[in-house]
Amino acid sequence: MDNGISTNFWSNGLDNFKNKMPKIVNPKSKSCILPQCGNCYWIYWIFVIVIALIFIHWFFLSKTFGKEYKCKDLLNHKLIDRRTLDHDCCSGWLASHFVLFFILGFFFPNCIALLIIAGVLWEIIEYIIGIILKKRSNNEPQYTITGCNVQYKDVYITGNLLDIIADISGIFIGVALRLLIDPLLPESWQLKKT
């Protein structure tokens, strides 16, 4: 059935998009400066989109619910109520780390190093932001959260070792599942043999 769109529409469109980018970030260019440019290029865009969605999520919650936003964030509610590695554990945010990196590990099994570096780097950035926010909040009147079982009660953004463990677990389980089912996939979807 011909729907008026050529079969090469998507691949040609993506190739044209890549060819118009500056050479230093173009995965087809030999002067690309991004690590693992060719095979892992789309991971960079996925991270940009995920980070943008996180900030939109936070902005929406904080503007809609004011000081109550930490209780209203469904991802902040604890799925498991215990302390692990000196942190309250374990909210939907931890689960979201696992799910994101599981999906990325499954679809980009050749990019393990980049995924691990990205996960660790993000937690370092969150840790620094958390320190800055904690210093700022020390000068403001404290708002005590009561009546809701959430992981992040005071500083909402903070680096967490458990998130790194969830990231790495998700990566390796995703890669393992991909390698396990790869022979069952259509040949065009299978990993290239080297």
Number of domains in the chain: 1
pLDDT of residue 124: 93
Whether the ω angle into residue 90 lies within 30 degrees of 0, i.e. cis, is yes
Classify residue 48 by burial, with Cβ atoms within 10 Å: 0-12, 13-18, 19+: exposed
Question: Which residues partner with 91 through β-bridges?
Answer: 78
166 in any annotated domain = yes
45 in any annotated domain = no
Structural domain that includes position 78: 66-189
The pLDDT tens digits for 23-52 are 444 455 555 545 555 678 788 889 999 999
127 in any annotated domain = yes
- Contact of 106 with 178, CB cutoff 8 Å: yes
* Backbone Cα Rg of the chain: 20
- Contact of 104 with 93, CB cutoff 8 Å: no
42 in any annotated domain = no
The one-digit pLDDT tens for each residue of the chain (194 residues) are 444 444 444 445 555 555 554 444 445 555 554 555 567 878 888 999 999 998 898 888 878 877 777 777 777 767 776 666 555 677 778 888 999 999 999 988 888 888 999 999 999 998 888 788 777 666 555 555 666 766 666 656 677 888 899 999 999 999 999 999 988 888 877 777 65
58 in any annotated domain = no
70 in any annotated domain = yes
81 in any annotated domain = yes
31 in any annotated domain = no
Cα separation, 27 vs 79, in Å, equals 40
